[in-house]
Structure 1
Amino acid sequence: MHQRLDRLRLVALNIDGVLLNDTFSPVIGAFVTSRGGVYDAETERRILSQPRRIAGGEMARAAGLDVTGEQALEIYFAERDRYVAEHPIRPLPGAAELIARVRDLGLAVVCYGGLSRPHFDTHLGAWAHLFDGPGYVCTDSFRPGIKEIAGDVFGLGLDQVLFVDDVARVAEAAKALDVPFIGHPSSFQRAFMEELGVRHLVDSLDAIDEELLRTLDAQAAAGGVWRTAPVS
């Protein structure tokens, strides 16, 4: 029987890039560069984890397309469908084990992301019983959704929820709110997270072990999640 954690009560796991393989960044990059645009860290930062209405416009601008954001998204999702046909969406290695570790520590687990509920049901529906509350929270209308998931959905304090995400924009919001955070970033996003001073960056879900979870819990209990210490 594991000893109960002091402060954390919920772990919120981003769906794409944390629980599932990232099928967004590669397609966004190709969308931009195939049309002569430059896809770099700053471009990615302007697009990822934005509401669709903003992301579509940023994609069109980066690609040099004279179309609306909505039209850009229609083109993008058609290209993503072709990409997914060759690179199927799948749970990342260690995803199921991570959820089990979190639950074994007595913590609730929820999944969140920018796509609507059917995306979760299709690719993680078999795991739905492992998640708490609504199971999945679509954050498109209130991205990044930290305050909403913690307070509105679960009625918890901001220091009681640990977020795991692959995008620096979410890390930036977590830092502003002093919310517990673990980064699981791509190469571009890693650089931004390091600049932000993210204390805990992992390259695999296996690295989010009991020791790391207890470290985040101790930092949350002490009220110093983002205040000191170098990136680990």
Structure 2
Amino acid sequence: MTDRLHKLRLAAVNIDGVLLGDTFSPLIHRFVTRRGGIYSADVERSVFSQRQADAGRAMAAAVPQTLTGEEALAAYFEERAAYLADHPVEVTEGAGALLRRLRAAGLDVVCYGGLAKSHFDEHLGAYAGLFTPPHYICTNDVRPGLREITAHFGLEDGQVLFIDDVARVAEAARALGAPFIGRPSRFEHSHQAELMRQAGARHLVDGLDEIDDALLRTVDEEATAGTLWPTRAAEPVPTAG
């Protein structure tokens, strides 16, 4: 990119579902349906991008069994370990190229997510040189964490581009007037794309290669002009199913 961006200074990129493959949607769907629950947009809203303790309580509430939040969370992570033994975490196609494009555009880049930094080190350590220190920010205690990430770098709302796979982050970005690009899950039962559209997100991509120089310029222009979000975006409405 030859023309420097005017407003954007940092790209904050979510780890699971963006830079790494989505292992959460299939597992939570299986957790709920195998226990007789109904997987819905409301379930996704109550579980995704929540603190682990809150997500555990939501998963327990989503099934017709007597489970505490702690029990549901423990069962989920046990099932996750077994699932990952057969379905290892993979770096998303185009992740490295995306990180290089973001840096070439003059942006600092940080990764964030709800798991510990060891998760980042294990799966994205080879790309650490493309991130700005501290490289990864765990947001489990401050979900969804947009304010905290922005403040950590001493920036203002509107200067940080968030790239995420969860609509709750889009809603938080809209509330702050922050730039957002959604990369919703391809999982067949996922409701995130529709929930992002309901939140007023303008920029949804299927692959990371779609986040190119032209899209970065468009988002930067919208951030500069203050037109990132529709002035009367429809409030998110839970989707049945």
TM-score range, shorter chain: over 0.9
* Residue deviations 1:32-88 (CA, integer Å, cap 9, x gap): 000100011221111100001110000011022322211211110010111111111
* Residue deviations 1:157-182 (CA, integer Å, cap 9, x gap): 11100000000000000011110000
**8 A Cα contact 2:200 2:230, kept in partner:** no
Aligned to 1:55: 55
* Residue deviations 1:5-52 (CA, integer Å, cap 9, x gap): 100000000000000001111111100000100011221111100001
Alignment partners' CA distance in 1, 2:205 and 2:34: 31
Aligned residues, how many? Answer: 229
Tell me the amino acid that sits aligned with residue 220 of structure 2: D
Tell me the amino acid that sits aligned with residue 33 of structure 1: T
Matched ranges for 1:79-228 at <5 A:
79-151=79-151, 153-186=152-185, 187-227=190-230
Secondary structure of the structure 2 residue equivalent to 1:101: helix
Secondary structure of the structure 2 residue equivalent to 1:16: coil
Aligned to 1:68: 68
Tell me the amino acid that sits aligned with residue 21 of structure 1: G
TM norm structure 1: 0.96
Alignment partners' CA distance in 2, 1:55 and 1:220: 32
Alignment partners' CA distance in 1, 2:110 and 2:63: 35
TM norm structure 2: 0.92
Task: Identify if the C-alpha distance between structure 1 residues 123 and 220 changes in structure 2 by more than 3 Å, giving closer, same or farther.
Answer: same
Aligned to 1:45: 45
**8 A Cα contact 1:113 1:137, kept in partner:** yes
**CA shift at 1:126, angstroms?**
1.2
**8 A Cα contact 1:199 1:229, kept in partner:** no
Identity between Structure 1 and Structure 2 (%) = 57
**CA shift at 1:194, angstroms?**
1.1
Alignment partners' CA distance in 2, 1:66 and 1:228: 44
Tell me the amino acid that sits aligned with residue 49 of structure 1: S
Consecutive unaligned residues in structure 2, runs of 5 or more: 234-241
Alignment partners' CA distance in 2, 1:65 and 1:220: 47
Tell me the amino acid that sits aligned with residue 179 of structure 2: P
Alignment partners' CA distance in 1, 2:106 and 2:66: 51
Secondary structure of the structure 2 residue equivalent to 1:20: coil
Secondary structure of the structure 2 residue equivalent to 1:63: coil
Alignment partners' CA distance in 1, 2:177 and 2:25: 27
**8 A Cα contact 1:40 1:188, kept in partner:** yes
Root-mean-square deviation over aligned CA pairs: 1.4
Moved more, 201-210 or 38-47: 38-47
**CA shift at 1:228, angstroms?**
5.8
Tell me the amino acid that sits aligned with residue 166 of structure 2: V
Consecutive unaligned residues in structure 1, runs of 5 or more: none
* Residue deviations 1:71-111 (CA, integer Å, cap 9, x gap): 21111001011111111101101110000000011110000
Tell me the amino acid that sits aligned with residue 34 of structure 1: R
Runs of 4+ in 1 over 2 A off after TM superposition: 227-230
